[in-house]
Amino acid sequence: MKTDIEISRETQLEPIQAIASKLNIDSSSVIPYGFYTAKIPYTTIDDSCVQKHKLILVTSMTPTKAGIGKTTVSIGLALGMQKIGKNAVLALREPSLGPCFGMKGGAAGGGYAQVLPMEEINLHFTGDFHAITSAHNMISALVDNYVFRNRNTPQGLKKVIWKRVLDVNDRALRSIITGLGDGNGIPAESGFDITAASEIMAILCLASDLNDLRRRINKIIVGYRMDDTPFTVKDLGVGGAITVLLKDALNPNLVQTTEHTPAFVHGGPFANIAHGCNSVVATKTALTYGDYVITEAGFGADLGAEKFLNIKCRKADLTPALTVLVITTRGLKLHGGVPEKDAADPNTEALMRGLSNMEKHRDNLQQFGQTVLVVLNRHTDDKDEEVEMLRTYCNDRAIPFAVDTAFAEGGAGAADFARTAVHLIESKPSKPLVYTYQDTDDIKTKIKKICTQVYGAADVNYHTDAEKMLSRIKTWGIDTYPICIAKTQYSFSDDPKKLGVPEQFSMTVREIIVNNGAEMIVAVMGDMMRMPGLPKEPRALQIDLVNGYIDGLA
């Protein structure tokens, strides 16, 4: 089969104005970024359409290091919907340069189920990530300048907690000292997170409009005064300047799939260290123009879907009509006890054992009130016997099941999948969401409910620093914020080696971070890092420019 980039190059793209015209978007609302990409102003959102049209969430079982293929399945479902005559639109996250040049190599789908132009989407795209990085680091520079100018005065700060960010995996920058050298500021401990973990990223993805964006930016806590009270961007007096850097980035990006299905690709927080969902404005813009909108949330359902439902849906008044739970034979075998290097080999016993992981995720999603469709992202070398075993297993338990082969076959390989999804949506009206916790629960209660009810943990422990921050938060009156847990994506627990469905395990909160602008509390579990490192052989070794063409991005 051809590589992703070969398929991408051979696809004859339609001008972006033609894609917008399919959605009846007025030409005056199309802001072109080249021939095949445009920004659509968020002001085109129609709330009556948002509530009327159907939202489909795509999530997955606990992933392998190679992933499970949620983005490919999401795109495949949109292609399948189009194939059966439905008006479907995608709402996806933007890829980060960190994973693209680190472990993944690309994050725009795969095979014949891609969003295009793939090279641009995977690289600098419309500059949203750079705007977020610049806005975040502008705050850092302005805070450092404030500290320098107000040293030895009552207006000085006791502590700065605002780090810097970079859209590159760079472990050497996790912990640094700034201000070294004569005249270069005041030496202080600091560090870098990856841009996807920036609070500015979360704010952009949760903001409802430009005024809300500015309101949230002003609320960002950058440090503490001498009396331990929070010092914010509003106190710094630069909320307007930071909003200026982000005003264009707030508008969602319109692109197309390999079969010219419209797709909004906007925002890119990771789900293991952030809330893992594309922007609210992109989702609502897609719901304005599409009868069916397919979106995905990062990593397994314990991370992405939990945050999508408990944070994004709660705050944006969204309710999915259906949740798709993606599985693969390789993923099931891995969680059934097979080493990753052997997961492609036939092993029906391990396959069946691994279904407990899928069942746990499905049970969790049903606790939210969701109708769940289990979908096998079929690899070309998957054995028919194993596929039929999965079909029989699900049929015997009345679990809705479908097979997606869009990677190899495009929309034709997802048509039956799409019919099943439409049937479930039409035959089972969506129920009100049942959240894991209530806004009125205190922070520890919220964390415990997620850990015990979603992950299956027996108890939760706290490091001293986390306890101190919780005590400080109690005086700020922000206990109503939702919780965003940062933990490994490879296990329900905070230990990546505990595969399948671990039992009787404890979880440890190492750090509590207040994202006051994003209006959520981040609880960092175990050894989770908010700045990833590079693997032994990063994908950058395979990416090159050959005869004027980019190679190695997939």
Phi, psi of 503 (to 5 degrees): -130, 155
pLDDT (tens digit per residue) in 374-401: 999 999 999 999 999 999 999 999 999 9
Helix, strand or coil for residue 479?
Answer: coil
Quick one: tokens of 188?
């202080």
Q: With a cut of 90, say whether residue 477 has pLDDT above it.
A: no
The arithmetic mean of pLDDT across residues 497-524, rounded, is 96
Phi, psi of 130 (to 5 degrees): -70, -35
Q: Tell me the DSSP string of 284-320.
A: HHHHHH-SEEEEE-SSSIIIIIHHIIIIIIHHHT---
* Secondary structure letter of residue 454 according to DSSP: I
pLDDT (tens digit per residue) in 328-365: 999 999 999 999 899 999 999 999 999 999 999 999 99
Average pLDDT, the chain: 95
Q: What percent of the chain clears pLDDT 90, i.e. is strictly above it?
A: 92
Q: With a cut of 90, say whether residue 460 has pLDDT above it.
A: yes
pLDDT, position 222 = 98
pLDDT, position 49 = 97
Q: Residue 431 — very low, low, confident or very high, per pLDDT cuts 50/70/90?
A: confident
pLDDT, position 107 = 85
Quick one: tokens of 183?
């005249």
Q: With a cut of 90, say whether residue 226 has pLDDT above it.
A: yes
pLDDT, position 554 = 74
Q: What percent of the chain clears pLDDT 70, i.e. is strictly above it?
A: 100
Q: With a cut of 80, say whether residue 300 has pLDDT above it.
A: yes
The listed range with the strongest mean pLDDT (8-17, 469-478, 528-537) is 8-17
Q: How far apart are the first and last CA of the chain?
A: 13
pLDDT, position 130 = 98
Contact 278/91 with Cβ under 8 angstroms? yes
pLDDT, position 531 = 94
Q: Residue 474 — very low, low, confident or very high, per pLDDT cuts 50/70/90?
A: confident
Q: With a cut of 90, say whether residue 313 has pLDDT above it.
A: yes
Q: With a cut of 80, say whether residue 430 has pLDDT above it.
A: no
pLDDT (tens digit per residue) in 109-152: 999 999 999 999 999 999 999 999 999 999 999 999 999 999 98
Cβ-based neighbours of 455, under 8 Å, separated by 6 or more? 302, 492, 493, 507
pLDDT (tens digit per residue) in 151-208: 989 999 999 999 999 999 999 999 999 999 988 999 999 999 999 999 999 999 999 9
